A and B are shown apart, each in its own frame.
Chain A
Amino acid sequence: MSKTVKIVLVVLCLILAGVLYGIREFTRTRESTSEIDAVALFKADSLAQKFEDNDSIATVEFGGKVLQVEGVIEEATSDNGTIRIRLRGSEMSGIMCQFEPGDSTIIKDFKPGATVCLKGQCNAYQKVEMLPGGDLLLSNCVLTDYNKK
């Protein structure tokens, strides 16, 4: 095989690899939270308090990252297949957890007062002036442990 043919083959391979990488990146969908390691583990009350104390600093530290949170279910709802639970937090704040789309039957198991451990993507501390308190929003949550007691 001549040197020129080898160079052409290498260039073609590089182009093909680039195209494949581009297609993979372009069509890539969001990775499931179950595949991502949490950067920190919190009790719901201490996490809520952190955001209640200074949500700007806490958002810079944890915004967009996956956190593991353990807390007590205050409320569980399902709206058109979207499951949310609110974990009891500090006095004025809670943790609102929206689950990944998927098995909507888990809602039947969620009982207020039960302890749950989950992972979710940390978003902003959601608060408006017209309502007291606020909620830290965790999205794309997945269960890691559930104690029905």
Chain B
Amino acid sequence: MKKIILAITLLASISASAQTKFFTKKGKVSFDATAANSPEQIRAINENAISVIDVSSGAMEFMVSMTAFNFEKALMQEHFNENYVESEKFPKANFKGTITNMKEVNLAKDGTYPVTVKGNMTLHGVTKEVTATGSLTTKSGAIVSGKSEFKVVFSDFKIDIPKVVTDKLATEGKIKVDVNYEPVVSK
């Protein structure tokens, strides 16, 4: 009996340690573009972001569908899709990059590790190199979650903010990423 338990434990640990890719299709990406003195909040959330991390290389990818950002008010959502990010022409935003300090994330030890991610973000048809800091949380040999907060300057991605709305809409958006990962299971 002890041998069976030992064998199962060994197999489980080998399986966990062999797991190199972690993903989600339910990642939360929110942004807040409320200007300092705006009487109303301009923010939205997308709960359907795809993200993958390969811990062996530190490679990371994100993809969000622009029309899946939900605003409190329908008019804001329509303006966002039609006038600002032009979702019909540019339906997706993505990020492809690398966790530059992946070696510092110890999968064998449960905890939350600070990470720096560097790569190319494509938004509104414009690709730009970005660097962001965040954290990865590990548990039982796996990446279980990731968080990050960074800013995006709209003009960097050719998103024009008309002067008439600058009292409400900020020139940069605060992006918040909150993702729970699970291992990629080969079928």
Interface string of A109-142 (1 = CB under 8 A from B): 0000000000001011011111100010101000
* A57, chain B: closest CB distance, angstroms: 12
- Taking a contact as CB atoms under 8 Å apart, the answer to whether A124 and B72 are in contact is no
The SS class assigned to the B binding surface is strand
User: Given the complex of chains A and B, what is the CA–CA distance between A29 and B65 in angstroms?
Assistant: 20
User: Given the complex of chains A and B, what is the CA–CA distance between A79 and B47 in angstroms?
Assistant: 10
Number of A-B contacts (CB under 8 A): 83
Contact of B91 among A26, A63, A84 (CB under 8 A): A63
Check: B87 CB closer than 8 A to any chain A CB.
yes
Using CB atoms, name the residue of chain B closest to A30.
Answer: B74
Interface string of B35-55 (1 = CB under 8 A from A): 000000000000110111010
Would you mind naming 26 contact pairs between A and B with Cβ atoms under 8 Å apart? A26-B75, A28-B73, A29-B73, A64-B87, A77-B26, A79-B26, A82-B47, A84-B26, A123-B48, A123-B68, A124-B68, A126-B92, A127-B50, A127-B63, A128-B51, A128-B94, A129-B61, A130-B21, A130-B23, A130-B59, A131-B21, A131-B50, A131-B184, A137-B48, A139-B68, A139-B70
Taking beta carbons and an 8 Å cutoff, which residues of B are in contact with A?
A: 21, 23, 25-26, 47-48, 50-52, 54, 59, 61-63, 65-68, 70, 72-75, 77, 81, 87-88, 91-92, 94, 96, 184
